[in-house]
Structures are given as structure tokens and as C-alpha cells.
Amino acid sequence: MVQTRAPDGDLVCLHGFTQNRFAMINDLVAPFAAHYRRIWFVDCPGHGATTVDSRTPHSFFDALCAIGPHFDIFGYSMGGRLGLWLLSLYPGLITNAVIASAHLGLETPEAQAARRASDGQLADRLEHLPYSPGLGQQNQEFIAFLEEWNQAPLFGGRSLTNSELRLRASNHPDALASALRTYGTGEQPNLTSLLSETKTRLLYLYGEHDTVYRAMAERARGLGTCEVRMIDRGAHDVLHDQPSAVVQLATQFLS
């Protein structure tokens, strides 16, 4: 039997690239409500209502600190990276973290420069897309980008539903470009050494079919307080592919 605590403290949920704060609510709010006083579903930089100020790249992390002196995090992909990045900047701020399919940072300056360049090319493409809210004809180029992005092998050739497309199309392509330029993997430091002595309890999740992040999981396994679990029959977006398995592992860990 899993022993649960009385609702207390705060949980911050951070979504992946092209999503927004509503992407996780259906899967996470009910199972976590019994464990937390407050659950914060936060728009990542350049998504939803969160803007990007390239002059103060740590402003997003500073804003999260206002939530409280101690809280837990559930972060997926970009949101997982940002959660780990926050942890490296403010040791002791986060008590427990569930991190799904997140990059720990590139290990050489050459790899970081190459990723920064590819992130820049993707940002250039986004900035040249015409934008009109919704799924109408005027927004078809952006819709095509969103569909192409999520049909990549990393996601297992996923096809987005109309509701998922509508959620993602509420983001502005210019803002997504700003997120890549300021908070992309190419801008992120290598967090492995920075987190090697963390006191935060970490659970790292990755999908069985996500060969790219299987290697990342092995790096995470080297962190002293990190437990690593594979999600059967999952690709990169494990919460979408196997929500029940992810929620079960996360609630057991966080409670």
C-alpha cells in the first residue's frame, strides 16, 4: 500500500515545446490534487502568456522562485530541461522532481555551438511563418509545421488531434522562436556536473522507443539522488503515450 501525505506544499508542472500550460491538466490535476495544496500549470517561456526577455534570460527562473521556498516539479521535455536548469541555479529550492524525456545539456562546446546554430535555423523558419489564431486557412503554414514537428521519429510518428492542434496553434511562432534563441538546448549549460551533488530527489522517465533519450537516462542515472525508470511502449512524449504508467510512477515517487 502506498502511504500518502496530507495535501501540503506546491507542485509546478512544465510542458514541452509547442505545448502550453493546458497540455498536462487533464492527466495530472486529479491524481496530484490529493497530495498538494496548490498545483501550478505554468506556460514555459515563449508559450501561452509567458513572454521572453532575451536581456534577462533568467527572469523565468526568478519568477518561479516566488512560488515558495520549497516545491516539487513535474517537467516534460523542454519543461524538464527548465526544471533541471532551475535546480542548478537555485540548489535546495526544489524538494522532488519528476523529469520526463529531458536533455541534461550538451557535453562539449562544439556540440553546443552546433545545436545553437540548428536552433537558430528553426527559429528563423518560425519567424517567417504567417500567423493567424486558430485552425483556419490563414494559419495553415504554422499548422503544417506543428504537424511535421510531432510526426518526427522522436515522437513515434504521432498525429495530433484537432484539439491538440488548436492548443498548440494558440502559441505565436515568433514567440516560439524567441524561446529557442533564449532557452533552447543550445543555450542550456551542461547540467550533469552542476547536479552531481544535488539533494533534490529526482525521478527520470524515458520511453522504451525513445532511443535518443535512452542515453540521456544513463547520464541521469549517474546523479546521486536520481531514480531512472523506462516507460514501456512509450516514445518521447511518455505522458501522451502511456499516461497511466507515468502518473502511477510519479504519484508513488512524489507521495
User: Which pLDDT score is estimated for 5?
Assistant: 52
Domains observed in the chain: 1-255 (3.40.50.1820)
Tens digit of pLDDT for each residue in 86-101?
Answer: 999 999 899 999 999 9
What's the sign of the alpha-carbon dihedral 159, 161, 166, 167?
A: negative
Distance CA 173, CA 168 (A): 10
Determine the average pLDDT of the residues in 39-49. Answer: 97
Determine the average pLDDT of the residues in 221-248. Answer: 96
Q: In angstroms, what CA-CA distances link 217 with 35, 155, 160, 168, 243? A: 27, 17, 26, 27, 19
**Residue 56: exposed, middle, or buried by beta-carbon count in 10 A (0-12, 13-18, 19+)?**
exposed
Percent of the residues in the chain that have a pLDDT greater than 70, as a whole number: 97
Is the pLDDT score of 57 beyond 90?
no
Kindly report which listed range (72-76, 108-112, 168-172, 222-226) carries the lowest average pLDDT score: 222-226
User: Which pLDDT score is estimated for 185?
Assistant: 97
User: Which pLDDT score is estimated for 8?
Assistant: 77
